[in-house]
Amino acid sequence: MQRTLFIIKPDAIRKKLSSSILKDVRDSGLNILTQKKIKLSQEDLESLYAEHKGKPFYEKLVGYMGSGAVICAVIEGVDAVDRMRDLMGDTYPSKASPQSIRGKYRGESDTGPSGAIENLVHGSDSPERAKVEIDLMFGKEWSV
């Protein structure tokens, strides 16, 4: 069993897609252990995206992620990180599989060196990063 952090981004919240996206996660066979709707603080955003600091898209990403509420969730299952990444689809919505979240619901932004920023969802890219991100958003008791 593995855990990963999943975030429904502000564009998906504004489009009222969160219920459909969470249903897609549940339907995939993964478990949503906990979730919360919050507005991320500047400190949280800087910690969450610290690995991107200094990159050309960093300021835009942090500004966008702080522009509204998000839903953060801890997802658990066998190979949860890879399964969530498959479920989310390609970072560029125009390249995402039509069955994926980004392909099905279409994120707005498809430009920039980081891929898309307004692409509906975020998921940890490795088990190690998942632990860091879950610790940051929920505390160490959830990142076991």
- Which residues are annotated as catalytic? 122
Residue 8's H or E segment, with its range, is: strand 2-8
HEC per residue, 52-70? HCCCCCHHHHHHHHCCCCE
Q: DSSP characters for 19-65?
A: HHHHHHHHHTT-EEEEEEEE---HHHHHHHTGGGTTSTTHHHHHHHH
CA gap 120, 48 in Å, rounded = 17
